[in-house]
């Protein structure tokens, strides 16, 4: 078993691919639900308001959006999320549909060294693709 220190509270826990212990993960989940509810109740809030209301940092909220866990109500939301590739406004994840597709095609064509280099990116992309499916 792989034992690590929790990135948040520092306690040791059985590592399972996540950088937080179970207790911190549960706390994060509660906070996450708060953000989600706040965004649902206040779809026109900007990110500072959401951060103030929930006590969660702006960076963390942006992380949730980038991870595809949170979704903005639309591309005209006060919270600005842009495609990391072309800058188009998106409502969740890292890339707009077009870039996500282009990247996927590029990765499919990549071989040898290049594909090893791009491995991390592939992981990200696959995660986004998963989110889009539901």
Could you tell me which stretch among 8-16, 52-60, 66-74, 118-126 binds Zn ion (CB under 5 A)?
Answer: 8-16
Burial grade of 107 (CB within 10 A; 0-12, 13-18, 19 or more)? middle
Region binding Zn ion by CB under 5 A among candidate stretches 23-31, 56-64, 66-74, 125-133: 23-31
If you search the block for the tokens 């026109």, which residue do you land on?
44
Task: Give yes or no for residue 8 binding Zn ion (CB under 5 A).
Answer: yes
**Is there binding between residue 21 and Zn ion (CB under 5 A)?**
yes
Bridge partner residues of 82 (DSSP): 89
Q: How far apart are CA 14 and CA 20, in angstroms?
A: 10
Interface of this chain with Zn ion, residues 92 to 121, rule: CB under 5 A: 96, 99
Residue whose CB is less far from Zn ion, 71 or 85 = 85
CB closer to Zn ion out of 78 and 89: 89
| Three-class SS state of 45 | coil
3 state SS of 17 = coil
**Per-residue x/- mask for Zn ion, residues 57 to 96, rule CB under 5 A?**
--------------------------x-xx-x-------x
Nearer to Zn ion among residue 50 and residue 77 (C-beta):
77
* Residue 106 CB coordination number (10 Å): 13
In whole angstroms, what separates CA 115 from the centre of its chain? Answer: 23
Provide the binding-site residues for Zn ion, judged by CB under 5 A. 6, 8-9, 21, 24, 83, 85-86, 88, 96, 99
């Amino acid at each position: 078993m792989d034992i690590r220190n929790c990135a948040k509270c520092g306690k040791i826990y059985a590592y399972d691919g996540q950088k937080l212990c179970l207790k911190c993960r549960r706390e994060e989940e509660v906070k996450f639900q708060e953000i989600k509810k706040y965004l649902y109740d206040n779809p026109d809030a900007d990110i500072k308001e959401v951060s103030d209301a929930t006590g969660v940092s702006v960076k963390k909220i942006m992380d949730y959006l980038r991870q595809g866990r949170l979704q903005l109500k639309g591309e005209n939301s006060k919270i600005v999320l842009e495609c990391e590739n072309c800058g188009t406004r998106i409502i969740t994840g890292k890339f707009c549909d077009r870039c996500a597709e282009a990247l996927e095609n590029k990765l499919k064509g990549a071989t040898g060294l290049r594909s090893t280099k791009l491995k991390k990116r592939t992981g990200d992309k696959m995660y986004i693709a998963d989110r889009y499916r539901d």
